[in-house]
Structure 1
Amino acid sequence: MGDLDHRQLGVDLYNATWDLLGRDDRSAEEDDAMLARAYASFHHWGQVAGVRPENVGRGHWLCSRVHAVLGHADAAAHHAARYVAIARAGDVADWDLAAALEASARAAGVGGDFDAAERFEAEERFEAEARQVCADVSDAEDREVVEADLATLPRRP
């Protein structure tokens, strides 16, 4: 596998995942392909020599987002928590923690257990912290991306 350009494969698969994420008319087979693409992107980024923590974290974010879209709350929460841990450890861009917390809030909301106090409090806490961290993001475009994601979080019915 030494001849593979893992970085390029990771990028291409990340973008291919978004091609499916952006559609609301996916078939079950396309949902499967979307999940496979997210994990394949994550895998290939992990094979890049000198991969940076933010690349690993963002791979977790993509897997979390796909699982959230598919309604897999536990898997979404797992990957979001991994991204939070990576972002809190530092050596990432200033918007990574906000994005990781957004993923955690989304995973909590997808769980749909809004009557369980700890779940609802977790969603609110993650969202509030994400908004606070997002306010400190230096690049306006990065801040807008995270704020747009926060605006699409699942809400109590």
Structure 2
Amino acid sequence: MTIHKQLASSCFNKVWDLLSKEERTERESEEMVHLCHGSFWHWTQVEDHTPTNLSVGYWQLARVYAVIGQGSQALDYAIKCMKISADAKLDAFYIAYAYEAAARAYSVIGESAQKDEALARAADYAERIADAESRGWVTADLATIS
């Protein structure tokens, strides 16, 4: 495993640790943003990175920005996630999560009509996911968007 792949994975996992905290300090939120960008950058340095790697990276960036309340940045990354996922014709799982990211971003910025549309698209793609466990993850995450 290359150093970039190791660092990308390490940063990605540390972001998850911070995302899973019920209460984060401002410093931890800032660290989470930096780690997420670091993870994404390191993936771009892996010679054989794939559109799937980029889709997941954009999705995590969108999620982080939504969680810290920066909806416009979250939406920018969600749109990038949707584009790369669609252009690469990724599995329904990744496209569902791209729309989940958009719905979450629209929720943060208070655009309820766009949020509802993105939620519907995400749910449609979730139904196409063959693996029941993966479909359940998407469905559970969609249920957390208000």
TM range (shorter): over 0.9
Larger Rg belongs to: 1
1:141 and 1:50 map into 2 onto residues whose CA distance is 28
Match of 1:138 in 2: 130
Q: Note the residue ranges of structure 1 that are not aligned, 5 or more in a row.
A: 113-118
Whether 1:129 and 2:127 are equivalent positions in the alignment is no
Query: Structure 1 length normalisation: TM-score?
Result: 0.89
Match of 1:149 in 2: 141
Q: 1:42: Cα distance to partner?
A: 0.6
Q: Note the residue ranges of structure 2 that are not aligned, 5 or more in a row.
A: none
Task: Name the amino acid aligned to 2:115.
Answer: E
2:93 and 2:69 map into 1 onto residues whose CA distance is 25
1:61 is aligned, of 59, 62, 82, to 59
Q: 1:4: Cα distance to partner?
A: 5.6
Query: Which ranges of 4 or more aligned residues in structure 1 deviate by more than 2 Å?
Result: 90-94
**Number of residue pairs the alignment of both structures matches:** 146
Query: Structure 2 length normalisation: TM-score?
Result: 0.95
Q: 1:140: Cα distance to partner?
A: 1.5
Partner SS, residue 121 of structure 2 = helix
Residue correspondence of structure 1 range 108-127 to structure 2 within 5 A: 108-112=106-110, 119-127=111-119
1:91 and 1:98 map into 2 onto residues whose CA distance is 12
Task: Name the amino acid aligned to 1:107.
Answer: A
1:8 and 1:138 map into 2 onto residues whose CA distance is 30
1:136 and 1:5 map into 2 onto residues whose CA distance is 36
Identity of aligned residues (%): 34
